[in-house]
Amino acid sequence: MNAASQSLPTEAKFATSLLRAKSTSLEVLTLLLIGALKFTADEAHGIQPLVASSPLMSWLYRIFSLQAVSNLIGAIEIVVAALIVLRPFSAKLSFIGSIGAVITFLLTLSFLFSTPGAFHFSHGFPVLGDAGQFLIKDLVLLGASIWTAAEARKEN
């Protein structure tokens, strides 16, 4: 084997780890920003119609105030982001965080089906409403979460 073919696996590993770091960094940054915003009154009011119409999460408002529900969701998102970022130190904790992110984004994507007006049919095709356009980004974040979970699982 020549020198170029021997270095290919190292280059491939470097490219993979660079891609992984960028993917993980964007996912973590997004989760941190979204989580931090949940501590604001505007965001608490903004997510209220989504959470209130969810059969999986509406019960939270019977126990906690509007702001407390938002704070709880934000705290979970921040903890999940922190766990994912621990990957260089603990693949197991990163895997747990990634699974938490998968659950988070599955829950938020479920709002597409429970929030009135999230999507409707126009000429026989589903069209996203305002809430649906807001929520569809979580499909990409769900994919990133599955990716980081799979990568962390490989290291366990």
Phi, psi dihedrals of residue 38, rounded to the nearest 5°: -65, -15
What is the per-residue pLDDT for 5?
Answer: 44
What count of residues does the chain have?
A: 156
The widest CA-to-CA distance across the chain, in whole angstroms, is: 68
* Residue 64 neighbours by CB under 8 Å, 6+ apart: 72
- What pTM was computed for the model? 0.81
Q: Does residue 100 or residue 11 have the better pLDDT?
A: 100
pLDDT in tens, 103-134: 999 999 999 999 998 888 888 888 888 888 88
From the list 35, 53, 148, the residue with the least C-alpha distance to 96 is 148
What is the per-residue pLDDT for 88?
Answer: 87
pLDDT in tens, 27-64: 788 899 999 999 999 999 999 999 999 999 999 999 99
What is the per-residue pLDDT for 1?
Answer: 46
The number of beta carbons lying within 10 Å of the beta carbon of residue 26 is 13
Question: What string of H, E and C letters represents the secondary structure of the chain?
Answer: CCHHHHHHHHHHHHHHHHHHHHHHHHHHHHHHHHHHHCCCHHHHHHHHHHHHCCCCCCCHHHHCCHHHHHHHHHHHHHHHHHHHHCCCCCHHHHHHHHHHHHHHHHHHHHHHHHCCCCEEEECCEEEECHHHHHHCHHHHHHHHHHHHHHHHHHHC
